[in-house]
Amino acid sequence: MTQFVRAGLALLAALVLLARPAVADPWIPAAGDGTIKPMFRLFNANESYPSAGGFTTNRVPSGTESKTEYRVTGVQGLGGDFSLEYDFRAALLRKSELKHHHMVSTKAWGLEDQKIGLNYGLRQSKGFADSVELNVVLPTGLAGSSPALGTGRWAIEPDYQIGIAAGRLSASLAVGPRQFLDGAVTQLRADARVGFEATHRLTLAASAFYVRSIQNRRSLPPIVQGELYNRLRLGAAAEFAVTKRFRPFVAYEVDVAGRGIHAGERITLGIAFHY
């Protein structure tokens, strides 16, 4: 499948497979309520975006990269318009590249960097919500492994989140920087979602994720620079409500533009538990 076909399919999915998120960050759950989503994700790539120049859709052949990631995300209502949010991850990462006419393969397994945050709802209604959130990125991933599973650096991630809903239609947007506390890197990040409830049980979803790193590479060891990236990724997902509380889901994502990073596709399988 060529990069143009991939990009076209993902863009079509983002325009057509719209969905109302089951739980969107701008809407704060009541005290004691929440959602937990265990999942695993499979990423594979054998092309990359050149590191020279700016953001581009052009891909070049490269060594392979594959990742099997185990992830648990969730939100817990705390009361008083506050919620606790978390994103815990571990992965098996494999890379292969040609060096001196020999294929060299490396792999690493273990925890990645984790994220935990406190979200505060500013305005909360059925049709509109916004919130501010402060996340802390914990450097639990192995930065000394090859390939690296983390940056070895603490970071904070303040976000502003906004959402609207009208009937079956909805949209949400989260924007904010990720600032590494040693001052080496700032990442500008945005995550957009739009939606339509297809049936009483079936939710179809689409997303766009953008990140750009503003960094001083000389201050970073080469082994962790792969954890810092420029990327535009589009995705689509489907969630089916077996019961009100038990909702399996599947997602497909594809990289459509980037710089200096592997370009590939990702499939996610998981279950959302609402309580």
Amino acid 99: pLDDT: 74
Is pLDDT above 90 for 20?
no
Amino acid 134: pLDDT: 98
Q: For 163-205, write each residue's pLDDT tens digit.
A: 999 989 889 999 999 998 887 788 999 999 988 899 999 999 9
| Other beta carbons within 10 Å of 127 | 10
Domain housing 125: 3-274
Q: How far apart are CA 19 and CA 196, in angstroms?
A: 4
DSSP string spanning 192-215? EEEEEE-SSSEEEEEEEEEEEEEE
pLDDT band at 151 (very low <50, low <70, confident <90, very high): confident
Name the strand (E) or helix (H) holding 237.
strand 230-240
Q: How far apart are CA 67 and CA 60, in angstroms?
A: 20
Kindly report the CATH number assigned to the domain that includes residue 92. 2.40.160.40
Global pTM? 0.85
Q: How far apart are CA 275 and CA 270, in angstroms?
A: 16
Amino acid 103: pLDDT: 77
Considering the chain, what is the average pLDDT of its residues?
87
Vertex 108: Cα angle to 230 and 222 (nearest 5): 45
pLDDT band at 4 (very low <50, low <70, confident <90, very high): very low
Please count the structural domains in the chain: 1
Instruction: Please indicate whether residue 194 or residue 36 has the higher confidence score (pLDDT).
Output: 36
Q: How far apart are CA 253 and CA 205, in angstroms?
A: 11
